[in-house]
Every structure is written in C-alpha cells, then in structure tokens.
Structure 1
Amino acid sequence: MNFSFLHAADLHLGSPLLGLSVKDPEIARRFASASREAFRSLIDQAISAKVAFAVIAGDIYDGEWKDNTVGLFFNREISRLTREGIPVYVVKGNHDAESVVTKTMPKPEGVTVFGTRKAETHRIEHLKVAVHGWSYEDRATAADFSLRYPAPVPGWFNIGVLHSSCEGKSAHATYAPCTVQELAAHEYQYWALGHIHEHRVLSQNPWMVYPGNLQGRSVRECGAKGAVIVEVRDGEVRTVERVIVDSARWAAIAVDVSSLATDAEIAAAIRREAESATADLGERLLALRITLTGETPLHDHLRAAGGTLRDELQAVLHHIHEDIWFEKLEIRTSAPAVPKRDQLGGLDPVAMLAGLSDDAELRQSAHEIVGALLEKLPQSFAGTPELNDLDILIAEAQSLVVARAMAGKAA
C-alpha cells in the first residue's frame, strides 16, 4: 500500500513571541499572529499533498487558554482536514496535558486523541496502518512512556507517536525520556516524535523524527520551521520531506568590528551578514539580533550611540528586505588595551588625560561648543542624549586620542 502522512508537533498555539520590541503596531500584530499563520499554511500544504492522515506529537497549545479563542481556532483549521477525509491522530504533550489545559470543546469528527492511562493503538484498516500513542495526564512526566508501548501489529505499518526527550538531546526540560535503542526494540517502522523544537532525524532504521516546531518563538529558535510529510511505499518509508510553514523567522548574526574604522564600514559589514542570513526569507517577517564584537577604538562611541545607532541600522536592514526588524542590538565590543609607556616614547597618554571630565573650565568650553553645534542642527537633535552628555563625549575623545597615538607610534 502506498500513501503519505503528515507528522507535526509543537504547534504552541497561543504562545507569545518573546524578546521582541517593535514600535509599529501593525508589525507587532503580524508577529503576534505568526503561529496561527503557520498552522493555516500547514493545513493548506497537507491538503495540497493529499496526505492520507496526520499525526500531531504533542503541544498543540502553549498552556491553559485564557478564553476559547485558541481552541476554536484549532478546531476550525483541523476541520479543514477532516472534511477532506483526512483523519488526525493527536497525543497531548507537557504543554497541553490534561492537568494543564482544563478547558475543552467538542473535537471534530475524524480527530482521535490518545488516552492518558496507557498507550493505545488505533488502526486505519484500509491502509493497514497501526498508530500507537499515549497522552500526558500531568505536565511533569518523568516516566519512560516508550517502555509500555504495545507490540507492533504484524504485517502492518506501525507508527509510534511520542512526546519525549529522546536521548536527552534538548534545551528544553526533560519529559518522558527514552533512548533510540528502546524505541528501535519495538520494531515500529516510524516514530513520530515531539517536544524538541529543532528538526532532527535520530535514526533511519527505523525512522525516528522530530519535525521541530511550526513557528520559532524567540531568538533561541532560529531558522526555518515546519513539519514533515512521510511517503510510504510497499510498507517502507521512502522519503521524509520537510514542509516549511513559518510566517516569521528569527536570526542572529555577529559582526567583528575590530578591523573597521568608521560607522559606515560597520554598517556595510552588517549588511553583508544580514543579506546572507536572509537569503531564503521570501515574504516572511524576520526578527534579527545583531551582536557587535571585537576590540575597537569605537567602543565608547558604539555604546553611547544607543538608539540612534539602532535606528540607523534599521534603515540599512530595510534596504535589504522590507520586513527585517531588530530583535536586539548587542554591543559586546571592548576598548583597545592601554598602550605601554615604552611604546609611546615613555609617555602615558591615559595618565596625561586623566581628570579631564572633572576640569570645570574644559567642561564649560565643551558645553559651549556642543551648544553652538546643536544650534546649527534641526531641532529634533536637541534632545539627543548622546550629544548632551559631556561625560560620554569626553570619554570618546580620550579613547580616540589614545588610539590615534598608538596607531601613529606603530606606523
């Protein structure tokens, strides 16, 4: 018998996107709806692929519903499958265990949810497929469920659906831990796993697959997200193909600025890295974290620039793609090491410049100069903190003088 089926997990419907601050309300709304858009896309692709059935390996929801909106959304979308004659088999994971999600509503006809007391087997007679699964009753599940899964149905294609920290390979909390060897001993043809949010294939004989979650929720979950469609021919798995459905994506890039001398050079380097990170973005939103590293004379300037630098870089990112937005800008640079006296003819420029910030006459002169400059700029610059903080300006000047002195001596 030849057929294909959908394997998804970790939908986390209702989960917020974490660590994202977007000023534009419309963009914030689009990010907030990302998990729902991803699920709609999954249903679209499953119907288009004409899968015979679908399995969901836990964590449909992110936790207890505030109201019925999330449950109604899931029921409405999953009913699109069942109306097409595509049955759905679900196990509850730690996030949607019976002890966590207490609200219920009638599930659509054609959706089977596995029980919580023991592992169950549901048969798809016309395909000769046996689907084995066990739902979580409590969120904190430390027992190895897999040990008590039933024997395979002889001559049938057997699928084990399990929400588990297999081999402990997870940045998440450990639930229902098991091993590859334990799963293989059941002699099922396919293990549909859930809980780990990265796409992983633990084994191909037999197949043990984590599809990953449908939608990244923070910068800890970067890259493409989706599910898998499994093709079965003559009782054997032939292909396991990823189906990418995320509508918003997360990425993180690090740029070493130690060899860069100006803001323009830094912006150009960021643009190059961002272009590489967004090559396959398509029409998706992207939340991007940028980290600047390296030893640089610009250290104090970069730290002082703050929001101004962020806004300037946001404009650079929009030259690449209209929907790249900052998740965070991290300045992890360091100032150049203090040069030794013998490198500068016995002079110590740091000591010579010490106390400048406490020189009342210097501060008054600096205040007047900055004031004169601000008068020539648009009014919007008057409130810029970086241009009114004399301590920051004097510290930048000191760093620049030391760096220039060191560079000149080295030349």
Structure 2
Amino acid sequence: MTSFRFLHAADLHLDSPLRGLDADRSAPAARIRGASREALSALVELAIAEAVDFVVIAGDLYDGDWSDFRTGQVLVAALARLTRAGIRVVAIRGNHDAESQITRELRLPEGATLLSTRRPESVVLAEHGVVLHGQSFASRDVTENLALGYPPPRPGMFNLALLHTAATGRPGHASYAPCTVEQLARHGHDYWALGHIHTREVVLRDPWIVFPGNLQGRHINEAGGKGASIVTVREGRVAAVEHRALDVVRWQRVAVDCAGAADDDAVLNRVVRAVGEAVDAADGRLLALRLELSGPTAAHAGLARDQAATLGRLRAAALEAAPEEAFWIEAVRLGTRPAVPPAPRTDAVGQLLGGIATLPPGALPADLAEYAGQLLERAPGLRDALGPDHPAVQAAEGRIGAEWLDRARGMLLARLSDD
C-alpha cells in the first residue's frame, strides 16, 4: 500500500444565518456571519499548503437552503481551488443540507464528488490505493442506521467511510443515523470520517473513528478552537491524526474570580486582565466572549442591581486590554455573591428568599427538562431548527432553570441591600 495524507472536515454550515446577532447592536454581526466563508477559505489554504492528497467532508456543507446562489458559488469556488491544485474532494450530505432541504443546485467541479442519497456509494482513488464509502442524507430526519448498509472493506486497499451520525447520541445533537461504536469497528474499515457532532472527538483509535468538530463555531455553546483533522497514512495504516484550528471567530467563556474584590474598580481590573490574556492567546482571531464572574465580593450588589449597566461597564473597561476589533463581549453571567451574607429577614421578602434558597438542587431544571424533552421528541428536527441557545433546548438539557434561579436570587439580594 502507498502512503498519503488527507484532510477530514465536517459541518461547514456555510452561511449559517445566526439570527440572534440582530438583537444586539454591539455585535460585529458582519464579521461573525462571514466567518463560515473565511474558515472554508482557510481550509482550502491549509489543504494546499500541506499538499494533502484528498479532502473528505462528512456532511452539513450548508446550514440549510440557500437564500441565493451566492452561497453555492462560494462552495464551488472553494472546491475548484482544491481540484485545480490536484486535490480530490469527496463529500456527503447531512441533515442540514439533505437533498430534501436544498432547492437550488450548481454543478460541482470535476474532481469533486457528492456521494449518492439512494444507496451507499464507493469512490476508488487507485493512485493511492484508497476506496471511500459513504451515503448522503436524502431527507433531514434520517433515523435508520445507514452504516449497516455500507459495503464491506475491499481487500488490499485503505478503506475510508464517511458518515453523518450522532453515533450513540451526544448532548445538544439530534440522534440522526444512529449506530454504535462496536458496529462501526466490526465493519472492518480503516478510518471512519464522521460528522454531525460539533465537538472534536477521537472516538476510537483501532480502527480510527473521528469527529473533527465543526469548522467554525457559531455561538457560545460551540466555544473553543474549531477546525479539521489532517490524517497521515503510512503503508496502509493511520500514523497520525492532527487537529488544525481553522476558525476565524472564536467563542470563548472567560472565568473571572471576583473573590475578595473590594469594589467595582477591583472587579473591572480583573476583567481587564482576563480579557487581555484571552486576546493574547487567540492568535489574531476575533473573540466572542462570555464573561462568567464568580466569588464573594463587596461589589456584588452594584454588579447585580442593573445587569444591563454592568455589561456596559465591563465592555468599556475591557477596551483597556485590547482594541474593540479584537473581541466582543456577548454576555455576562453573574455568579458573584455578597462578601457578607445579609441578615436574616422574617418578612415576606425574607420568606421568598428562603424559598429560593431551599429549593432542592435540580428540582426546577428537572421539571423543565422533562416537559421540553417531550416537546422535542415529538418533532425530531425541531432541536436543530431552534438551535442550542433556544430556551426549549436549554431546558431539555437542564441548562436553564438553575441559571434563572441564581440570577433571581442575586438580583433580589442586590435590591435588598438598597433597603
């Protein structure tokens, strides 16, 4: 067998609309919305610079149907750059760009192949001794195990399978094309190039089963570096799988410990330092930050009294750390508490605070999760359509009730300090 290298990407979500940006006039909306195109360009440049032999894309090239032909033209232009450089491309459709979802179509350049939706298809790259297997989504809600229909490995060749799947399930992702790790491993293929899960994960190393994660984060629940994997094969065996960051906008949670901060200025100084460190580590990318403040501090009442004003003050102070084109603070989550607990109260307000404080941990989130989970189960595509930041999805995953309780408690305590 020959030796070669390939690039494994998935979940490009080209031109994802990111509708929530319109609600905040401070957001660098144009830069964030253009990030998926820039990340795709970075993928092409990486593949050419690394002289990979071919590229595989495991579904969700698009976020959905195009608003105009320009979205398709951007992808075709990127694929053409690769094929002109002698780099083959093989891709499959996922749930977002399933055949039933895309109403417009453009011819792909020679050397770029989109695998069939009707049945598993195989493409042979004879010069590398490689055969690629895969099947595209015909419709958005694929609930059957597609992997069971994939052909067996061809002897004497490196067998690579593309599959858009949630495997055994992952938080925040609908269970499309479900399968088990054991089923994939038993199939006999050398490398499973998976897509759909937006967090990078090496599921198994023998054989290699890999989610590269999405190419570009789209919101705070897709925080951290995003990109693709470069795979090196020597004499028919995978020798290395390396993650390469390709995101141009990076969503990041920044923890700020406010414990012991004597006043607002002390808190602001800590925020400036934390933002500066995050920007320094971003390697020139635009950062979309969520500040998470915690700890007992004398500044708590002032921070919690008017959280919109607090966000404005923190955004302004952070400009001491870096210019505004380097970062955007999309939100602040306030988890601080008073340095000295307030004296107990016996009036109605005190009873309200006591009731909040004595709620069993997780009681409200569990109730919300059960109701929201039932709602989402009735419509399998609804979770993806709403997005991970929608309250219904957050509730189904138990991520919303506890936060609301903490914020309500903090705001009540802040108001009480004024009485």
Write out per-residue CA displacement over residues 19-44 of structure 1, whole angstroms, 9 at most, x where no aligned residue: 4465358x321122111100001100
Return the alpha-carbon distance in structure 1 between the equivalents of residues 26 and 303 of structure 2.
25
Return the alpha-carbon distance in structure 1 between the equivalents of residues 9 and 270 of structure 2.
38
TM-score (norm 1): 0.79
* Pairwise CA distance, 1:305: 4.2
Return the alpha-carbon distance in structure 1 between the equivalents of residues 174 and 414 of structure 2.
45
Return the alpha-carbon distance in structure 2 between the equivalents of residues 398 and 61 of structure 1.
50
On the 8 A contact 1:255/1:291 being kept in 2, the answer is yes
Taking a change above 3 Å as real, the CA distance of residues 397 and 112 of structure 1, as seen in their structure-2 partners, is closer
- Which of 375, 399, 405 is the matching residue for 2:417? 399
Return the alpha-carbon distance in structure 1 between the equivalents of residues 39 and 266 of structure 2.
37
Q: Which residue of 2 aligns with 1:23?
A: 25
Q: Establish whether residue 9 from structure 1 lines up as the match of residue 15 from structure 2.
A: no
Q: Which residue of 2 aligns with 1:82?
A: 83
Return the alpha-carbon distance in structure 1 between the equivalents of residues 414 and 104 of structure 2.
58
Return the alpha-carbon distance in structure 2 between the equivalents of residues 46 and 93 of structure 1.
22
Return the alpha-carbon distance in structure 1 between the equivalents of residues 331 and 205 of structure 2.
39
Q: Which residue of 2 aligns with 1:370?
A: none
Q: Which residue of 1 aligns with 2:246?
A: 245
Q: 3-state DSSP class of the match of 1:320?
A: coil
Taking a change above 3 Å as real, the CA distance of residues 82 and 340 of structure 1, as seen in their structure-2 partners, is closer
Return the alpha-carbon distance in structure 1 between the equivalents of residues 322 and 344 of structure 2.
46
Q: 3-state DSSP class of the match of 1:271?
A: helix
Q: Which residue of 2 aligns with 1:344?
A: none
* Pairwise CA distance, 1:87: 1.1
* Pairwise CA distance, 1:300: 3.4
Taking a change above 3 Å as real, the CA distance of residues 199 and 23 of structure 1, as seen in their structure-2 partners, is same
Return 121-130 or 327-336, whichever deviates more.
327-336
On the 8 A contact 2:261/2:298 being kept in 1, the answer is no
Q: Which residue of 1 aligns with 2:258?
A: 257
What are the equivalent positions in structure 2 for 1:41-52 lying under 5 Å apart? 41-52=42-53
Return the alpha-carbon distance in structure 2 between the equivalents of residues 317 and 42 of structure 1.
32
Return the alpha-carbon distance in structure 2 between the equivalents of residues 34 and 47 of structure 1.
20
* Pairwise CA distance, 1:318: 2.6
Q: 3-state DSSP class of the match of 1:90?
A: strand
On the 8 A contact 1:11/1:215 being kept in 2, the answer is yes
Q: 3-state DSSP class of the match of 2:331?
A: strand
Q: Which residue of 1 aligns with 2:38?
A: 37
Q: 3-state DSSP class of the match of 1:325?
A: strand
Write out per-residue CA displacement over residues 60-96 of structure 1, whole angstroms, 9 at most, x where no aligned residue: 0001111111101100111100111111101100000
* Pairwise CA distance, 1:241: 1.1
What are the equivalent positions in structure 2 for 1:321-332 lying under 5 Å apart? 321-322=322-323, 323-332=326-335
Return the alpha-carbon distance in structure 2 between the equivalents of residues 255 and 29 of structure 1.
28
TM-score (norm 2): 0.78
* Residue ranges of structure 2 left out of the alignment (5+ in a row): 351-412
Taking a change above 3 Å as real, the CA distance of residues 3 and 397 of structure 1, as seen in their structure-2 partners, is closer
* Pairwise CA distance, 1:56: 0.4
* Pairwise CA distance, 1:264: 1.3
Q: Which residue of 2 aligns with 1:190?
A: 191
Return the alpha-carbon distance in structure 1 between the equivalents of residues 116 and 43 of structure 2.
25
Q: Which has the larger radius of gyration?
A: 1
Q: Which residue of 2 aligns with 1:319?
A: 320
Return the alpha-carbon distance in structure 1 between the equivalents of residues 414 and 56 of structure 2.
59
Q: Which residue of 1 aligns with 2:93?
A: 92
Q: CA RMSD in A?
A: 2.4
Query: What amino acid maps onto 1:229 in structure 2?
Result: I
Q: Which residue of 1 aligns with 2:362?
A: none
Q: Which residue of 2 aligns with 1:389?
A: none
Task: Give me the identity figure in percent.
Answer: 43
Return the alpha-carbon distance in structure 2 between the equivalents of residues 144 and 84 of structure 1.
36
Q: 3-state DSSP class of the match of 1:45?
A: helix
* Residue ranges of structure 1 left out of the alignment (5+ in a row): 342-347, 352-394, 402-411
Return the alpha-carbon distance in structure 1 between the equivalents of residues 242 and 255 of structure 2.
31
Q: Which residue of 1 aligns with 2:343?
A: 339
Write out per-residue CA displacement over residues 233-256 of structure 1, whole angstroms, 9 at most, x where no aligned residue: 100111111121101011112334
Q: 3-state DSSP class of the match of 2:57?
A: strand
Return the alpha-carbon distance in structure 2 between the equivalents of residues 321 and 150 of structure 1.
54
Taking a change above 3 Å as real, the CA distance of residues 136 and 340 of structure 1, as seen in their structure-2 partners, is closer
On the 8 A contact 2:304/2:414 being kept in 1, the answer is no
What are the equivalent positions in structure 2 for 1:101-116 lying under 5 Å apart? 101-116=102-117
Write out per-residue CA displacement over residues 250-283 of structure 1, whole angstroms, 9 at most, x where no aligned residue: 1112334352220111112223433444442011
Q: 3-state DSSP class of the match of 1:220?
A: helix
Return the alpha-carbon distance in structure 1 between the equivalents of residues 416 and 235 of structure 2.
75
Write out per-residue CA displacement over residues 300-320 of structure 1, whole angstroms, 9 at most, x where no aligned residue: 321334444323322332333
* Pairwise CA distance, 1:148: 1.1
Q: Which residue of 2 aligns with 1:388?
A: none
Q: 3-state DSSP class of the match of 1:330?
A: strand
* Pairwise CA distance, 1:399: 2.0
Query: What amino acid maps onto 1:70 in structure 2?
Result: T
Q: How many residues align?
A: 350
* Pairwise CA distance, 1:15: 0.5
Q: Which residue of 2 aligns with 1:69?
A: 70
On the 8 A contact 1:55/1:89 being kept in 2, the answer is yes
Q: Which residue of 2 aligns with 1:354?
A: none
Return the alpha-carbon distance in structure 2 between the equivalents of residues 274 and 97 of structure 1.
40
* Pairwise CA distance, 1:396: 6.8
* Pairwise CA distance, 1:8: 0.5
What are the equivalent positions in structure 2 for 1:290-301 lying under 5 Å apart? 290-301=291-302
Return the alpha-carbon distance in structure 2 between the equivalents of residues 17 and 278 of structure 1.
23
Return the alpha-carbon distance in structure 2 between the equivalents of residues 33 and 167 of structure 1.
33
* Pairwise CA distance, 1:397: 9.4
Q: Which residue of 1 aligns with 2:124?
A: 123
Return the alpha-carbon distance in structure 1 between the equivalents of residues 185 and 137 of structure 2.
22
* Pairwise CA distance, 1:180: 1.2
Q: Which residue of 2 aligns with 1:134?
A: 135
